[in-house]
Amino acid sequence: MGESLPRKDLFEIPDGVIYLDGNSLGVLPKGAASRATRVIEQEWGQQLIRAWNSAGWMDLPMVVGNQIAALIGAPEGSVATGDTLSIKVYQALDAALKMRPDRRVILSDNGNFPSDLYMAQGLIGTKNDGYKLRTPAPERVVAAITDEVAVVMLTHVDYRSGRMHDMAAITKAAHDAGAVVIWDLAHSAGAVDLDIGGSKAEFAVGCSYKYLNGGPGAPAFIYARPDVVQGIDPALSGWLGHDAPFAMELEYRPAMSTERLRVGTPPILQLAVLQEALSVWEGVDMGDLRAASMRLCDLFIAEVEAHCPALTLASPRDATQRGSQVSFAYEHGYAAMQALIERGVIGDFRAPDIMRFGFTPLYIDEEDVVKAVRVLQDVIDTEAWQDPRYQTRSRVT
């Protein structure tokens, strides 16, 4: 494990909790609350409207974008933050389709996060011009890249299984067939070592509340390859993507930089907290992080298979084919996860039967992994999941 990991002292982790759900909502970085207070009381409260200049609010989407760029292998200035991941998917997809006006197929896979597919369906409805979404199984994507395909839009690391697509190979296959490529890095950014620039993909999008610890509803990000930026014709052409927002012109004229992918007034409070959260990455080597993540995941698999034979691995066994999470299928998975959570080991559940565990080397170590499996074993051996309290599904599962 890299000398700089873990960095538990930079986070607020509740007593008695082993948190294996950083792939859903990252834990609280210690500086976040005081930063929010400062933004609210000193910037908003005292500087008021002047803070757009004096506190640097207007530039925050690109400043924070640069922090994320450094973690995903993207050049400075190529990442804009704001909105939600679904909105950023729509932006990238719309731009990609306009780059291939004579093609009508969006290729994704049936393991993609549903919202990405929903946004594609919505865009197809709005364009109403014969576009189609194809969703083969993940392992059949490459074979499905034909010359009808305008854009290949995939989530790099599968939200359920943690299975990781081969970014370089798929991007190359898509480009060879003349398609544009969009990578959704929701489960990759801050979880694996990435070289989005080197991949040559035209677009990448992602969220910042998982491995980047930006907090609930933290802003999304969008990367565009620098040489395609000036060809992008934005659908979501909000004023802050305009070349001169405060000139109040009646005609949209996109900014010449990645700022053209900005839309409306940025969520300053969330951006400031995210900026603070990203400071925990200073000095982290992403290769070290990836090595630590693989070790933690491998250890978890070995321990679960040794102590909990009722569970079936639902992630690739080969660490190089996985992100930073491990899933197990278990028939009583929903109730077992509730029992586990009540005992301080927090993972989550995804329908139909997936118990999902995320491993974030910034604040999880090998001792946590071993302890977590002891609790899991106890839940299963004692059939603790049978408790009626664990059977009722919450609104958010």
Q: Per CB under 8 A, which of residues 83..142 are in contact with a second copy?
A: 83-87, 90, 94, 98, 110, 113-115, 117-119, 121-123, 125-129, 135
What is the distance between the alpha carbons of residues 372 and 62, in angstroms, rounded to a whole number? Answer: 39
- The least CB distance from residue 177 to a second copy, in Å, is 24
Residue 353 Ramachandran class (φ > 0 left, ψ -120 to 50 alpha, else beta): alpha
- The least CB distance from residue 366 to a second copy, in Å, is 21
Please state the separation of Cα 132 from the chain's center in Å: 25
Which residue, 272 or 286, has its beta carbon nearer to a second copy? 272
Quick check: 105 and 298 in contact, CB under 8 A?
A: no
Residue in 348, 355, 368, 369 binding a second copy, rule: CB under 8 A: 348
Query: Is residue 356 annotated as part of the catalytic site, yes or no?
Result: yes
Cis? peptide before 6, omega within 30° of 0: yes
Site for a second copy in 12-51 (CB under 8 A): 12, 14, 17, 19, 21, 24-25, 27-28, 32-33, 36-37, 39-41, 43-46, 48-51
- The least CB distance from residue 25 to a second copy, in Å, is 5
Q: Is 219 in the site for a second copy (CB under 8 A)?
A: yes
Query: Is residue 330 annotated as part of the catalytic site, yes or no?
Result: no
Residue in 266, 323, 333, 361 binding a second copy, rule: CB under 8 A: 266
What is the distance between the alpha carbons of residues 115 and 155, in angstroms, rounded to a whole number? Answer: 11
Q: Which of 159, 203, 209, 300 is catalytic?
A: 209
What is the distance between the alpha carbons of residues 267 and 333, in angstroms, rounded to a whole number? Answer: 37
Q: Which of 21, 83, 184, 348 is catalytic?
A: 184
Total residues in contact with a second copy, by rule CB under 8 A: 96
Angle between helices 60-72 and 268-278 (to 10 degrees): 30
Residue in 216, 283, 367, 388 binding a second copy, rule: CB under 8 A: 216
Which residue, 19 or 203, has its beta carbon nearer to a second copy? 19
Please state the separation of Cα 209 from the chain's center in Å: 7
Query: Is residue 21 annotated as part of the catalytic site, yes or no?
Result: no
Site for a second copy in 356-385 (CB under 8 A): none
Helix ranges, the chain (H): 32-38, 51-54, 60-72, 85-99, 114-127, 167-176, 196-199, 268-278, 286-307, 333-342, 366-381
What is the distance between the alpha carbons of residues 110 and 120, in angstroms, rounded to a whole number? Answer: 13
- The least CB distance from residue 252 to a second copy, in Å, is 4
Q: Which of 35, 160, 163, 210 is catalytic?
A: 210
Q: What are phi and psi of 73, to 5 degrees?
A: 75, 35
Query: Is residue 88 annotated as part of the catalytic site, yes or no?
Result: no
CA angle 272, 67, 226 (to 5 degrees): 125
Amino acid at 94: D
Amino acid at 59: D
Spell out, one character per residue from 300 to 339, where the chain touches a second copy: x when CB under 8 A holds, - when not: ----------------------------------------
Query: Is residue 349 annotated as part of the catalytic site, yes or no?
Result: no
Q: Which of 11, 19, 90, 113 is catalytic?
A: 113
Quick check: 40 and 268 in contact, CB under 8 A?
A: no
Site for a second copy in 168-207 (CB under 8 A): 207
- The least CB distance from residue 390 to a second copy, in Å, is 14
Residue in 138, 190, 234, 361 binding a second copy, rule: CB under 8 A: 234
Active site residues: 113, 184, 209-210, 356
